[in-house]
Amino acid sequence: MNIRDFLSVKDVAIDVAVSDKQKLLLELASKAGARLRLEPEHILAELSKREQLGSTGVGDGVAIPHARFSEIEKTFGMFFRLRKPIDFDALDGKRIDLVFLLLLPEGSKGQQLSALACVARKLRSPAVTATLRKSANATEISRVLAFE
């Protein structure tokens, strides 16, 4: 599996202005809801439920919020680069500025693990995150993320 299988350039946003974790999750839910024709409130509820289990802020300024939905048939991804880092209760205590949203089909445990591993592996690289932070536009970010 490759990130290009579930991330489109139109689902990449840079300089997103949010002030806290809840506002970020709401913005992600609103954008994803519009793209997938799902109620943003439903997406927000599932993302919030997942965050209650433990933060998806994985460290080094990166968060990978995710949830499963019976209403979708294939994995959907969205990437935000924030204008200013925010507190996200990340595992390392650092603020986050790179966010990769994953919405996964309900019955796809193997697909879920594969997509999460794919994103985590890519965003674990300091060279990749440095490039994402200085990329000029969504097209550049998409290329960086999709490149194997």
Catalytic annotation, residues: 66
- What is the per-residue DSSP string for 28-67? HHHHHHHHHT--HHHHHHHHHHHHHHS--EEETTEE--EE
Please check whether residue 103 is in contact with residue 31, taking contact to mean a CB–CB distance below 8 angstroms: no
Burial class (CB in 10 A: 0-12, 13-18, 19+), 56: buried
